Homo-oligomer: A and B are copies of this chain.
Amino acid sequence: MNFMGSNGGTIWFSGLHGSGKTTIANALAEKLREKGVAVVLLDGDVIRERVSADLGYSKEERNTHIKRVAGICEIITSNNVLNIACVASPTQEVRDYAKKIIPVFLEVYVKCPLEVCEKRDVKGHYMKARAREKGFENFLGVNLPYEEPKNPDLVLCTDRKNPKESVERLFNFLLEKQWIQP
């Protein structure tokens, strides 16, 4: 292990379900750990279970959930520890809130056309949303709009690049911006 350092910060992944957020985040976290950089991966679904179990999926409840995730990111960042948040975060408003409260913030748009995400349908959720199954009434891209990030720091087009290439690009970006130091 060659020890690299970091002064902390939040890498905020936004994108549709199936765009590849979790895949890229996991691979990036693994690569950083191999280099000796401590990193906390915050997966929106996991945080829902542990911290937001009281919340449903209405617009207001989603916002409250995302704001809690942002609060956790802020605390970890203030402790100078690198963290990655994977939350769909479909509105500019809620992403702007995260950007405002988190002192060191990088907005990464994991971009992939809806048709491609839907074709992948890794978890079978799109099918359920199209079939109007219970619990999928507010599914992003199907019955809930996704506002594209207006001015992200980085865009990863996952329909054109494979996960390894995306991780490489993001890792080099972190080096350039001195979020991680050799």
| B79–A50 touching, CB < 8 Å | no
Kindly specify which of A32-40, A103-111, A136-144, A155-163 makes contact with the partner chain. Answer: A32-40
A129 at the interface (CB under 8 A from B): no
A91 within 8 A of B: no
Per-position binary interface string of chain A over residues 53-79, scored 1 when its CB falls under 8 Å from any chain B CB and 0 otherwise? 010000000001000100110111001
Is A81 interfacial (CB-CB < 8 Å)?
yes
Determine if A42 is an interface residue (Cβ-Cβ < 8 Å).
yes
Please give the distance in Å from A134's CB to the nearest CB on chain B: 26
A92 at the interface (CB under 8 A from B): no
Interface residues on A, range: 20 to 34
Contacts of A173 in B (CB 8 A): none
Separation of A47 and B74 alpha carbons in the complex (Å): 10
A72-97: which residues lie under 8 A (CB-CB) from chain B? 72, 74-76, 79-81
A82 CB to closest chain B CB (Å) equals 8
A160: min CB distance to chain B, Å: 30
Tell me which residues across on chain B come within 8 A of A51, comparing CB atoms: 51, 68, 71-72
Q: Are A50 and B72 in contact (CB under 8 A)?
A: yes
Cα–Cα distance between A7 and B47 once the two chains are bound (Å): 21
Residues A76 and B40 in contact in the complex (CB < 8 Å), given A50-B71, A51-B51, A51-B68: yes
| Contacts from A to B (Cβ < 8 Å) | 3, 5, 29, 33, 36, 38-42, 46-47, 49-51, 54, 64, 68, 71-72, 74-76, 79-81
